[in-house]
Structure 1
């Protein structure tokens, strides 16, 4: 049996500060971007295999929708094996529970993929949350990117997952 945990995240051009120190009288300069909204971030959807820790992800153009969830899970269903079922755990966000996703659940079941939902308000039960945190705070090569293309290259070169 394969256990996958699904989630999505936004990765911004300027990552949040963690901690730092400077000598008195030498203030820290933190670069920021004037870009706002969708031009200032990558929307990513991904899943982590509970056993192997392998991450698969894809970039979502624009705001993430139920159709994006359906398309991502369809990719996972194409990799599934009915002889060894795949269970995809998702939170109860509306993009995971909408009619577009619900309408495909029986088709995915025939492929060997079953979608189940985590209890409400339980991000601590989703290991993909930790993978996003690892990417944002540890694996990105820079804390600030000049543009979305640089950020896209940074995410792709971070060696944290496989784009699908």
Structure 2
């Protein structure tokens, strides 16, 4: 069955990590005076994002995300990434907001293939899952969202605390959420159509 026959949303999922050390973009300075910025302390802090780009013909494109801050030194047994329950929460949240079945397209991350996630997918009637082929990030529009975020909210900024980084990422993601043409552009860049 197709997404149109089911009245379903086509949803792409991906994860990305952001650190306190931002990517540098082009900048201007006086000749022979290259600008340098010193960072102290919190450089080991990392923020992981899981995002969903949602598409349905005749509807405005949507973006949902979940943000996780990693401690500099995690406690024993603490995960440094998402587990299958985090992905389940994000999918249930998106389904509630979209109000329609979801056709999920994501990569072969080991967390996506855990026993708990497989059982959740089997018992959930509103969710159909397809895996992307290996090494094909160019087919996932969420990669474009991460690229936009790195070039805007995350670029050329020194974050004094992890809270500053989280605030900048949330602000950047909110701007993208309110501009659905950016989410549409990320899909167009893949060459795919909903």
TM-score (norm 2): 0.70
- Runs of 4+ residues over 4 Å off in structure 1: none
Distance 1:142 1:22, change over 3 A: closer
| 1:1-39 per-position Cα deviation (integer Å, ceiling 9, x unaligned) | 3111101111222211122343332121134343244xx
**Structure 1 residues 101 and 33 mapped into 2: Cα distance closer, same or farther (>3 Å)?**
farther
> In 2, distance between residues paired with 1:3 and 1:114?
10
Q: In structure 2, what is the equivalent of residue 70 of structure 1?
A: 88
Match of 1:56 in 2: 64
Aligned equivalents of 2:117 and 2:69: distance in 1? 18
| Alpha-carbon displacement from aligned partner over 1:54-73 (angstroms, at most 9, x marks no partner) | 21111125422223222222
2:19 maps to which residue? 12
Contact 1:60–1:68 (CA under 8 A) maintained in structure 2 = no
SS of the residue 1:22 aligns to:
coil
Structure having the higher helix fraction is 2
Secondary structure of 1:87 counterpart: strand
Instruction: Give the C-alpha shift of residue 88 in structure 1.
Output: 1.2
CA contact (8 A) 1:9 1:44 kept: yes
Gaps of at least 5 residues in structure 1 are none
Paired residues for 1:9-158 under 5 Å: 9-37=16-44, 40-51=45-56, 52-62=60-70, 63-64=80-81, 65-79=83-97, 81=99, 84-108=100-124, 110=125, 112-140=126-154, 143-158=157-172
TM-align CA RMSD: 2.3
**Structure 1: how far apart are the matches of 2:114 and 2:13?**
15
SS in 1 for 2:42: coil
The alignment covers a number of residue pairs equal to: 156
